[in-house]
Amino acid sequence: MSMFQRPSRFGRAVALTLAFGLAGAGSARAEQFINILTGGTSGVYYPLGVALSKIFSEKMKGVRPSVQSTKASVENLNLIQQGKGELAFALGDSVADAWNGNTEVGFKTKLDKLRGVAGIYANYIQVVASKDSGIKTLADLKGKRLSVGAPKSGTELNARAILKAAGIDYKDLGKVEYLPFGESVELIKNRQLDATLQSAGLGVASIRDLANSVPITVVEIPASIVDKVGAPYVKVTIPKGTYEGQTADVPTAAVKNYLITSAKVPDDVAYGMAKSIFESLPDLQAAHAAAKAIKLETALDGMPVPLHPGAAKYYKEKGVLK
């Protein structure tokens, strides 16, 4: 009997070893993917996402980064919750709404799997009109044709907040278009649109393209409006010369952007992402000037969701987190 039991036990052991080995190999493979969720290709998220993909490939062992162009903040956060991405760019107010499960802006339930990696640069809310439109103030937008960004995107949520504080409803506008940055600019060039509101880093390619094509007016968002909207909006200035033909500083509002991951992402991967980002700031700055605002010492400021333990480990090593 014992003669036959040995092979049976041995066979079971081999089968179990193979099974665990295959399971381990499968999980190791799954952890290698880092799908980076960005935004439209003419915004700031996308070129920074491409730069991060290259950085992760070079700095992290055994990872396979990919970059996905999306409708930005709201879509990105929902995809993270669904396990369809490992790192997402998102605006601070959208992240807070996602964590609180704000159904009005596109979050069916509280997105409880969201975890923070880093605060990065601020999105400047930039209202730009063609000079021909005659728009010089927010009040002048009434009766005019305005693009407010993709529906329920971070940009469109910013548009709702700013216009509401200025006493303007969508129905007060001549026409509302829900278009990405690049398409909005093309319509202004073709005189089918008067203005665009774009929530993006300073010097965003779409507005640079517009300013280089037609005379523009960068419309002020006064400090009183920013104060009325309140946190997480802050008062900032678009420096003169940021865009062709912009001869004066223009006050506006800004909201900080964050890199968000999932609670399901392993600690070592989240640690590697945080470390790689802050060890490669010159590469990110080469991809887009907005990255000049990314600083280790402000990376945790205002983080709307819990920090991923892997990222927390990195910040503790650097003395940013006690």
Least reliable range by pLDDT among 10-14, 194-198, 206-210: 10-14
Counting residues of the chain whose pLDDT is more than 70, the rounded percentage is: 90
Q: Is the pTM of this model over 0.85?
A: no
Question: What is residue 171's predicted lDDT score, i.e. its pLDDT?
Answer: 97
pLDDT band at 198 (very low <50, low <70, confident <90, very high): very high
* Dihedral sign, Cα of residue 9, residue 15, residue 18, residue 23: negative
Does residue 233 contact residue 159 with C-beta atoms inside 8 Å?
no
Choose which CATH entry (3.40.190.10, 3.30.360.10, 2.40.160.40, 3.30.420.10) describes domain 26-122+258-317: 3.40.190.10
Is residue 28 scored above 50 in pLDDT?
A: no
- Average pLDDT over the chain reads 91
Strand, helix or coil for residue 170: helix
Of residues 149 and 13, the one with the higher pLDDT is 149
Q: Which of 252, 240, 80, 224 is nearest to 159 (CA)?
A: 252
Name every residue whose Cβ is closer than 8 Å to that of residue 254 and which is 6 or more positions away in sequence. 122, 123, 124, 125, 233, 234, 235, 236
Tokens of 79: 């995809």
Is residue 7 scored above 60 in pLDDT?
A: no
Q: Which of 105, 119, 113 is nearest to 75 (CA)?
A: 105
Does residue 40 contact residue 198 with C-beta atoms inside 8 Å?
no
Residue spans per domain, the chain: 26-122+258-317, 123-255
Q: Is 8 exposed, middle or buried (0-12, 13-18, 19+ CB in 10 A)?
A: exposed
pLDDT band at 31 (very low <50, low <70, confident <90, very high): low
Tokens of 77: 């956060």
Is residue 18 scored above 70 in pLDDT?
A: no
Of residues 22 and 141, the one with the higher pLDDT is 141
Q: Do domains 26-122+258-317 and 123-255 have the same CATH topology?
A: yes
CATH topology of domain 123-255: D-Maltodextrin-Binding Protein; domain 2 (3.40.190)
Does residue 79 contact residue 264 with C-beta atoms inside 8 Å?
no
